[in-house]
Chains A and B, each alone.
Chain A
Amino acid sequence: MTKFLATRRQNILWISALVHRLSGLTLATFLPLHFLALGLAINGETQLEEFLRWTDWPIVKLAESGLVLLLVIHLLGGLRLLVIENFSWRNGQAKLAAAAAGISMIVAIVFLVRVF
């Protein structure tokens, strides 16, 4: 596995495809938990409010920021694919991939700073 990854890690587009896949997988795993949490409101406000108090913990805020990062990076990676697939070919994919990563990190950091 390490040899496999070592030979591919120089290809930024391969890495961005991996990030796209893993971020999607993580978001897809998070989604049912998100729905279950919101579903607590079915029995009125109190259960949801109790659950939401977990969001005061710094570690939870950090995790939320991570989720924002994953969401934005998955969106931008997907947008890059939509551009490749629907418009005529453009070179410079590596730059777009790097920009996607950069923008996602900025958004996630802004989120983190605001919730603290």
Chain B
Amino acid sequence: MNVRLYLWQRLTAVLMLPLILIHLAVIFYATSKGLKAADILARTRGSIAWASFYGVFVTAAAIHSVIGIRNILIEWSSLSKRGAGLLAIGLGITLLILGVRAVAAVVLP
């Protein structure tokens, strides 16, 4: 872990603090009357606000989690630093693609 990775990880963490609190509020609200696809999609379909919110959230989460995973790989696996870095980037790209796809799935009309 160096100063660059540290900054990216801590800054995405700070960015996600309010995002997670909002997400938790959404979770509590959405599950209060049983989780229904129709209700969820009624909120998200065609919503620029939700698209932006979750777009930012997904990107921050992908960056943040992958730096953490790289640390775990370096410290707990026998991968080299380079190998850990490459695997982490691969996982990050996968998360980003899946995340953007998920946002598109619920937001696109």
Contacts and interface: CB of A to CB of B under 8 A. Distances in A.
A59 to B, nearest CB: 15
A68 B65 contact: no
Contacts of A56: 34
Interface string B1-35: 00000000010011001001000100110011011
B94 interface: yes
A86 B19 CA distance: 21
Given A25-B72, A35-B99, A82 B14 contact: yes
A71 B20 contact: yes
A41 interface: yes
B49 interface: no
A52 B36 contact: yes
A11 to B, nearest CB: 17
A45 to B, nearest CB: 5
Interface of A is mostly: helix
B86 interface: no
Contact of B95 (A25, A32, A115): A32
B23 to A, nearest CB: 8
B10 A35 contact: no
B97 to A, nearest CB: 9
Nearest to B101: A39
A27 interface: yes
Given A75-B20, A85-B10, A38 B102 contact: yes
Interface of B: 10, 13-14, 17, 20, 24, 27-28, 31-32, 34-38, 40-41, 58, 61, 65-66, 68-69, 72, 94-95, 98-99, 101-106
